[in-house]
Structure 1
Amino acid sequence: MTSETNQPFPENIFRRQDETPDAQFYQVPRFVTHIDAGAIAAVTQLYREFFPSNSALLDLMSSWVSHLPAEVKYERVVGLGMNEAELRGNPRLHAYVVQDLNQQPVLPFEAASFDGAAICVSVDYLTRPVEVMRELGRVLRPKAPLVITFSNRCFPSKAIAAWHALDDHGHMQLVAQYLRAAGNWHAIELLDRSPRPGRSDPLFAVIGRAGAASA
């Protein structure tokens, strides 16, 4: 990765404690949830608000569970993640792709293929986030929402240096800046949806709409 990849960000903020290939780290399935029930409910409520029924969704950096509302039916949900066993076990996925976005940020989908996309508690692991966000803007239909959620939990060795250096507010600002740097997002919102401060995992979200600001 060169510093031009994630302009206007310096390359060193995307370094990790563990720089071994991510495929090795994720080769063993982890059938666990990485946030508690309260934070999961907050994610599901966001999806309820932003993803209409009968839409086509992309669950990026997906695993064995997508946290989509059980009562809502979607035309199709496509997952892209690192572990095939987890993706295969996800009951909400109609199809899936195994891909390491840090090695290959280009998404294998046609332009304007989806009505919405989600990244749940995984954005902190991206080492080429601007490229990924630009690709997401390409594969989403104009004005389609991208819902990026995160908490204060992570795999420390795989989270980028900037994530460790920032607080919760800084994380929201950083993710919003990814979208701005990608150049094909507008109507960016920063939300604190933490359900019960001090009694549940916090939950933060950055929402963007596909298309340039003038779209």
Structure 2
Amino acid sequence: MTENLPPEAFRRQDESPDADFYSVPRFVTHIDKGAIAAVTQLYRESFPPGGAVLDLMSSWVSHLPEEVEYSRVVGLGMNEAELAKNPRLDAYVVQDLNRDPALPFGDAEFDGCGICVSIDYLIRPVEVLREVRRVLKPGSPLVVTFSNRCFPTKAVAVWHMTDDRGHVRLVKGYLEAAGFTDVQGLDRSPKRLFSDPLYAVTGRAPE
């Protein structure tokens, strides 16, 4: 179903180069503390201690649990100043995935991958996720998290056309089309008033 979406589904209000939009660093958080804690808990549950983790579409904050040590954490994002400030990254790459969805990593290089509040900006999400599948070791987890907030002019049209449940179905479709297994949609919203909601779709690279 996802791969049958028309090209118009992935158009954006602002089609100017993403490199221009992200050229100025934004040292802010895009979800609140409760939602961030929910992302961290998912990472704690999903990524193996001592493993190599890919933080895709990364910025100046990693949501990895502070008490867990990983052998290597690599970030890929759009703004070098943000990536350079991220204390959890052992290495980083500046790359616009909407221009080039091919990841500059080897096959089966990582034990887990997280994409936090960014999946809504990809114009070729299935291509990117196939690359994620390639660089993950067999059986390794992918955790995609999102909320109800975004940069509206840069989110793809289909994201604006659906609600929270629709977003979960859409992202599940992305993962399934990219060849991930054990794909699940989750509502991990904090159980308190006035917190940002937090949704996730998880899957595993095929064995």
**Any residues of structure 2 matched to 1:59-70 within 5 Å, and which?**
59-70=55-66
Q: Is residue 83 of structure 2 the alignment partner of residue 110 of structure 1?
A: no
> Which residue number corresponds to residue 81 of structure 2?
85
* Deviation of 1:159 (Å): 0.4
Identity percentage of aligned residues? 68
> Alpha-carbon deviation of 1:7?
2.5
**Ranges in structure 2 where 5+ consecutive residues have no aligned partner:** none
Where 2:44 maps in the other structure, the secondary structure is: helix
Distance 1:139 1:79 in 2: 14
Amino acid at match of 1:165: M
Q: Is 1:18 equivalent to 2:14 in the alignment?
A: yes
Residue in structure 2 matched with residue 209 of structure 1 by the alignment: 204
Q: 1:72 maps to which residue?
A: 68
Match of 1:139 among 135, 141, 160: 135
Q: Post-superposition shift, 1:9?
A: 2.0
What is the aligned partner in structure 1 of residue 94 from structure 2? 98
In structure 2, give the amino acid aligned to 1:129: P
Which of these residues, 172, 188, 196, is aligned with residue 183 of structure 2? 188
1:198 Cα shift?
Answer: 4.0
**One-letter code of the match for 2:50?**
N
SS at 2:4 equivalent: coil
Match for residue 119 of structure 1? Answer: 115
Name 1:3's counterpart in structure 2.
none
Aligned to 1:148: 144
CA distance in 1 between counterparts of 2:56 and 2:64 reads 13
Deviation of 1:199 after TM superposition, in Å, equals 1.8
Deviation at 1:185, TM superposition (A): 0.7
| Alpha-carbon distance between aligned partners in 2 of 1:52 and 1:123, rounded to the nearest angstrom | 23
TM-score (norm 2): 0.98
* SS of match in other structure, 1:80: strand
1:28 aligns with 2:19: no
> How many residue pairs end up in the alignment?
206
CA deviation string 1:128-183 (max 9, x = no partner) = 0000010000000001000000000000000000111100000000001011112x
Q: Measure, in 2, the Cα distance between the counterparts of 1:27 and 1:64.
A: 14
User: Is 1:168 matched up with 2:149?
Assistant: no
Looking at structure 2, the residues matched to 190 and 179 of structure 1 have their Cα atoms a distance apart, in angstroms, of 11
Q: Does 1:52 align with 2:48?
A: yes
Name the aligned partner's letter for residue 47 of structure 2: F
Q: Output the amino acid matched with 2:138.
A: P
3-state DSSP of counterpart to 1:47 = helix
Helix, strand or coil at the partner of 1:7? helix
Q: What is the TM-score with the length of structure 1 in the denominator?
A: 0.94
1:118–1:148 CA contact under 8 A, matched in 2: yes
Q: Deviations 1:178-215 (Å, cap 9, x if unpaired)?
A: 11112x2100010000003542000000001001xxx4
Code of the residue aligned with 1:133 in structure 2: it is: L
- 1:71 and 1:106 mapped to 2: Cα distance? 32
Which residue of 2, 16, 33 corresponds with 1:37? 33
* Aligned residue type for 1:188: V
